[in-house]
Amino acid sequence: MHIPSPEELRSRRETLGLRQTEVAKRAGISQSMVARIEAGSVDPRVSTLNKIILVLNNAEPKKIAAGQIMHTPVLSVPPQASITQAVEIFEKNNISQLPVIERGIPVGCISESVIVKAIEQQRLHHTHPFMVRDFMEPGFPTVPPDMDVETVVNILQQNHAVLVVEGRQVKGVITKHDLITLIV
């Protein structure tokens, strides 16, 4: 029989999205006892350890929603912004694409690759002030804040980002990097 270490107990509790007080209440022990067990400062009785393990084994993992992992504010540009403004945002924030948002509503996206392609095709010259709308691509997919993270992962397999939208207003953005951060 494997006896979990204090670190394993804490890790399992955190993975399930439980607080020490919730585990303590369900196990019929004090929160301070759970804290001391997780810290390794007390050697619990087998019966106490069994109560905690039973609580953790019976707990359902909490579903993570898009609204919990999105980040804000959403960097964006309006369609009437100049290409120069978009490039400045790319450089300043070390990113390669931006949603195009007009009055809070997503209308497309602009990316470094589209701008580079336009330069290669000599459609973009310094002499003409091109606007984002001239090179705008279809926008990022949108999801509601309560969308489960598993669905977001599937959407991100085919897209660079997902916008979290409530009503018609953009509330946040989720990128592949955000998911990596969540796992790590």
Whether residue 145 contacts residue 136, with contact meaning beta carbons closer than 8 Å, is answered with: no
| DSSP single-letter state for residue 175 | E
Examine the pLDDT at 170 and tell me if it is beyond 60.
yes
> Which pLDDT does position 62 carry in this prediction?
67
Tell me the backbone φ, ψ of residue 50, rounded to 5 degrees. -65, -40
> Which pLDDT does position 178 carry in this prediction?
79
Among the residue ranges 27-36, 52-61, 68-77, the one predicted with the least confidence is 52-61
pLDDT digits (tens, 9 = 90+) for 118-164: 777 766 666 667 889 998 999 999 999 999 988 999 999 998 899 99
* Beta strand residue intervals within the chain, DSSP E: 97-102, 105-111, 142-143, 161-166, 169-175
Which amino acid, 52? I
What domains lie within the chain, and their CATH numbers?
6-58 (1.10.260.40), 66-183 (3.10.580.10)
- For residues 49-77, give the mean pLDDT: 88
pLDDT digits (tens, 9 = 90+) for 79-108: 999 988 999 999 999 988 999 999 988 999
Examine the pLDDT at 184 and tell me if it is beyond 60.
no
